[in-house]
Structure 1
Amino acid sequence: MAQSRRPRRSGARRPASARPAPKAPVTDGPVIELEIERVAHGGVFVAHHEGRVVFVADAIPGERVVARIVDQGRDRFWRAETVEVLTASDDRREHVWPEASVDRAPEKRAGGAEFGHIRMPRQRALKADVLRDALARMGGVEHAVEVEPVDPALAPDVSIDEGTGWRTRVRLHVTPDGTVGPYAARSHTVVPVASLPLAVPALAALAPLGERFPGVRAIDLIAPSVGDPSLVAVGDERMPRGDRPTIEERVGDRAFRLDRDGFWQVHTGAAATLSRAVQELIDGDLFDPRAANHDLYGGVGLLAAAVGDRFGETVRITTVESDARATEHAGANLADWVGARAITARVDRYLDELDEKASAAERARLRDATIVLDPPRSGAGRAVVDRLAALRPRQLVYVACDPVALARDVGLLRERGYELQALRAFDLFPNTHHVEAVARLGAIV
């Protein structure tokens, strides 16, 4: 999910008057008792009531809870919020973020830590369940899944047991009267809080909790690995053209320059974790440094650099990214490799043109290629999968931040002659439902 899950586009903001009014949280829905059965994708849990599926927040499988129905607008299922735990799981703990605890009214619970009431080993097991189930249902693949914590050596200041202190980027929202806070869970209601336990300590100390910022839309807190953290007040004006503030991130011995408001992995150890995983999952016996290797959705060049660092200065690799600023940085960040190129293009259009115009020699180099792709949360999708399958590279290394999107694309690739050969999953978003996976798929001969 590794560094081009689409950079934030500073010039695409709407004026405040054009923003839709937040939907008021439901506080008077019916209250029922439910037996929680299993986890579902999206950080909620499955129960049944009178034959209807109910997706319940703030619960754990095996628990019996009292829940308020907050959405009855669908025939097939309802949504509910836990308001009381009658029979608690052994894996329930005090929430790591008091402002998100089940003890608070649902409409006042801070969002962004929906698994914070669950002990860490069970969190990872639940995420593995979601990914394994998605691969079976949508990908047609039965595959063992273990969600690994980040290597403490890559994030020494993060609490592995508590899953706190890892966020290097935090966005706080601001109400018209200037109140600062995160959104409440599953709503656009700003909730004042006194703590930010998921943030790295430097950001937790910098956060202007309790202060007022009238006339501001949001507050961005950014803690790069090089230099001081910063607080950026975000208005509704467009980002000015020309020079933009930049920051430096370091992964091992390598530095990456990017826009301050550009995309970078949020967990302090994520960039190094994903770089290492991509390096290890590439089948070295199939890798040809002189082939037409690619890094699709390449951002500022993190994964292209990981490939180059493993296979040496003779590597040819093209990184493709739709954001022109990110591509500009990628070109500079990859300057070590004579064979590296950075191209600004939408991936689907780039592959269309490649397939249309490639010579016989270029097609041969593409068939020998390794393709790394790190698409946005929605995944690569059918159009990109179709074109990749037509170009027929030897192996694909797919970095995914959404298990359902990954599973769908694995299924599409299986239909087109690629099989899932290896998979690793990482807990890069502790105390949330999100999980990052890296998969290798090889062409079936």
Structure 2
Amino acid sequence: MTLDVERVAHGGIFVAHHEGRVVFVADAIPGERVVARIFDQSKDRFWRAETIEVLEASPDRRRHVWAEASVERAPEHRAGGAEFGHVEITRQRALKAEVLVDALARFGGVERDVVVEPVSASLAPDVDLDAGTGWRTRVRLHVAADGSVGPYAARSHTVVPVASLPLAVPALTALAPLGERFAGARAVDLIAPSVGDAALVVVDDERMPRAPRPTIVERVGDRDFTLDRDGFWQVHSGAAATLTSAVHDLIDAEGFDPRAANHDLYGGVGLLAAAVGDRFGDAVRITSVESDARATEHAGANLADWVGARAVTARVDRYLDELATSAGRAELTRLADATIVLDPPRSGAGRAVVDRLAELRPRQLVYVACDPVALARDVGLLRAHGYELEALRAFDLFPNTHHVEAVARLRAIV
């Protein structure tokens, strides 16, 4: 059917209407007229579609940065993972800002303008800022039944053979075995740490190995972080430094007490706890809480420079429950004076964690979010507990995708 595309929606898709019904259509741009194929009519309220021809193009449409993901290909053969690659880069950022603004208004009750900032060229020298390519330091290639490798097609688990990986850093494009076969493997991981050589890892079994797991080192400024080679790290080559700088900027120094019970929740290997320590000195008291035991082990070593730092292995919700029920009066006072940094998974912190945080009543929260709707929902929950959104920055850490990273500061006001 022919559709007039109206606006962007969360998730890298766009909104059109057909005879009063909402149609979510992929690979379009607001203002375009497209021919789209409906592939999902399972819901009464909306359908899902994918563009197969552009009749009237937006002035912001460009040749897709990844030929294998282009609208010229049949949808079932388009590589996934670059759903905004057909959109000029400044318009991409405007679309991401629009999604974040809309989410904050709808779910957080906050009206606020947002500018999505690019990563500084000084932090990611290999990135083509105009094209949004050359930034990805981790790539997983899936293995098809015949042993060929490639990304999944958009919205499916079909492996698409490709001849290029334009989002990857140069070290990975040189290493990628795109024409080879890996019969019997599950996946091939490509990893380019900031220290040392890039690696190709054939994944035969997703279970944790019994042998010692290989480690890598990532450098942020003058500081090194050790982590498991298959452990979590920000995928954009300049993301860790960008978020470190943003946390530095967003913490209100006048409201920060280095002796308080400061925390880094969902702390990983200690990146953001280190950001706090680097800004406020080696006597800062801060606890990193992370459910992954290996990451916590690394965090303990990575934070060894700070005498007041410690790393705890625990689920954040259970840790806060225990803290709320067992803390004495002095500890509750230190919590009330605290700054809490939290970087939850894509699903956000959620009601249970928000409710406990509000009960403990830290002075300020610095919330790092990779999903605008989850952030907005949690902002709304926190506002109901008497916290207000004081500051917000957003960053384009995933160019040519719909993803956007945001860092927010909330303060207890009542």
Give me the TM-score of the superposition, normalised by structure 2.
Answer: 0.99
Give CA deviations for 1:175-210 in whole Å, capped at 9, x if unaligned: 121010000011100000000000001101101001
Cα distance in structure 2, aligned partners of 1:355 and 1:240:
36
Q: Secondary structure at the match of 2:14?
A: strand
Give CA deviations for 1:274-331 in whole Å, capped at 9, x if unaligned: 0000010000000000000000000000000000000001100000000000000000
Answer yes or no: is 1:308 the counterpart of 2:271: no
Answer yes or no: is 1:371 the counterpart of 2:340: yes
Answer yes or no: is 1:203 the counterpart of 2:180: no
The correspondence of residues 391-430 of structure 1 with structure 2, limited to 5 A, is 391-430=360-399
- Within the candidate set 287, 302, 308, 1:333 is matched to 302
Please name the residue that 2:245 is paired with: 276
The correspondence of residues 61-140 of structure 1 with structure 2, limited to 5 A, is 61-140=30-109
Cα distance in structure 2, aligned partners of 1:237 and 1:433:
28
Q: Secondary structure at the match of 1:154?
A: coil
Aligned-partner residue type, residue 280 of structure 1 = D
Cα distance in structure 2, aligned partners of 1:240 and 1:353:
32
Please name the residue that 2:291 is paired with: 322
Aligned-partner residue type, residue 307 of structure 2 = V
Give me the TM-score of the superposition, normalised by structure 1.
Answer: 0.93
- Within the candidate set 352, 370, 373, 2:321 is matched to 352
Aligned-partner residue type, residue 330 of structure 2 = A
Answer yes or no: is 1:224 the counterpart of 2:186: no
Cα distance in structure 2, aligned partners of 1:143 and 1:171:
36
Answer yes or no: is 1:152 the counterpart of 2:125: no
Please name the residue that 1:172 is paired with: 141
Cα distance in structure 2, aligned partners of 1:141 and 1:177:
51
Cα distance in structure 1, aligned partners of 2:227 and 2:156:
31
- Within the candidate set 351, 363, 370, 1:382 is matched to 351
Please name the residue that 1:8 is paired with: none
Q: 1:135: how far off?
A: 0.1
Q: 1:237: how far off?
A: 5.5
- Within the candidate set 208, 225, 239, 1:256 is matched to 225
Q: 1:381: how far off?
A: 0.1
Cα distance in structure 2, aligned partners of 1:60 and 1:262:
35
Cα distance in structure 2, aligned partners of 1:205 and 1:255:
25
- Cα root mean square deviation, aligned: 0.6
Cα distance in structure 1, aligned partners of 2:274 and 2:19:
54
Q: Secondary structure at the match of 2:255?
A: coil
5+ residue gaps in structure 2? none
Give CA deviations for 1:12-59 in whole Å, capped at 9, x if unaligned: xxxxxxxxxxxxxxxxxxxx0000000000000000001100000000
Q: Secondary structure at the match of 2:330?
A: helix
Cα distance in structure 1, aligned partners of 2:173 and 2:125:
17
Please name the residue that 1:441 is paired with: 410
Cα distance in structure 2, aligned partners of 1:186 and 1:409:
27
Aligned-partner residue type, residue 308 of structure 1 = G
- Within the candidate set 229, 232, 235, 1:266 is matched to 235
Cα distance in structure 2, aligned partners of 1:305 and 1:45:
39
Q: Secondary structure at the match of 2:30?
A: coil
Aligned-partner residue type, residue 315 of structure 1 = V
Q: 1:235: how far off?
A: 1.2
Please name the residue that 1:290 is paired with: 259
Please name the residue that 1:187 is paired with: 156
Give CA deviations for 1:388-445 in whole Å, capped at 9, x if unaligned: 0000000000000000000000000000010000000000000000000000000014
Please name the residue that 1:12 is paired with: none
Q: Secondary structure at the match of 1:131?
A: helix
5+ residue gaps in structure 1? 1-31
Q: Secondary structure at the match of 1:152?
A: coil
Q: Secondary structure at the match of 1:371?
A: strand
Cα distance in structure 1, aligned partners of 2:340 and 2:99:
26
Cα distance in structure 2, aligned partners of 1:222 and 1:240:
18
Q: 1:241: how far off?
A: 2.0
Aligned length: 414
Q: Secondary structure at the match of 1:104?
A: coil
Q: Secondary structure at the match of 1:173?
A: strand
Q: 1:238: how far off?
A: 2.3
Q: 1:236: how far off?
A: 2.4
Cα distance in structure 1, aligned partners of 2:244 and 2:155:
32
Give CA deviations for 1:244-263 in whole Å, capped at 9, x if unaligned: 10000000000000000000
Q: Secondary structure at the match of 2:91?
A: helix
Cα distance in structure 1, aligned partners of 2:295 and 2:396:
26
Cα distance in structure 2, aligned partners of 1:357 and 1:116:
51
Give CA deviations for 1:119-162 in whole Å, capped at 9, x if unaligned: 00000000000000000000000011000000111111100000
Cα distance in structure 2, aligned partners of 1:200 and 1:304:
27
Cα distance change of structure 1 residues 237 and 271 upon mapping to structure 2, 3 Å threshold: closer
